[in-house]
Amino acid sequence: MARYKEIGSFTLGKNTYKQEGDKTPDYTGTITMEDGSQQRLGAWLQTNGKTGEKFFSGKITIDTESSSKSTSEVVSEVEDIPF
């Protein structure tokens, strides 16, 4: 999978290791964070129970060893967002 250097850029690809019924992501990839580190992405294909419309839900896994910021620093920044 190609790795992008631009902040906020990401790649996602189908998780070929996913087994039927397991909770691992349907799609996996990486994202380039503001500090330049590469973090892991996971996305699950979901279906809206009322409309039947499909959508993605996702998660970024912060690897604190490859990131120059600690988890507490990231949480602090998120709490400072004015909305």
Give residue-wise pLDDT tens across range 2-36: 554 688 889 999 999 999 889 999 999 999 988 88
Q: How far apart are CA 27 and CA 13, in angstroms?
A: 5
- Look at the chain and report how many structural domains it folds into: 1
Range of the domain at 31: 10-79
Domain assignment of residue 35, yes or no: yes
Instruction: Please report whether residue 1 resides in a domain.
Output: no
Higher pLDDT, 59 or 78: 59
Within a domain: 25: yes
pTM of the model: 0.66
| Within-domain flag for 44 | yes
Residue 4 placed within a domain = no
pLDDT above 60 (res 44): yes
In a domain, 22, yes or no: yes
In a domain? residue 2: no
Task: Look at 4-8, 55-59, 74-78 and tell me which has the smallest mean pLDDT.
Answer: 74-78
Distance CA 36, CA 16 (A): 27
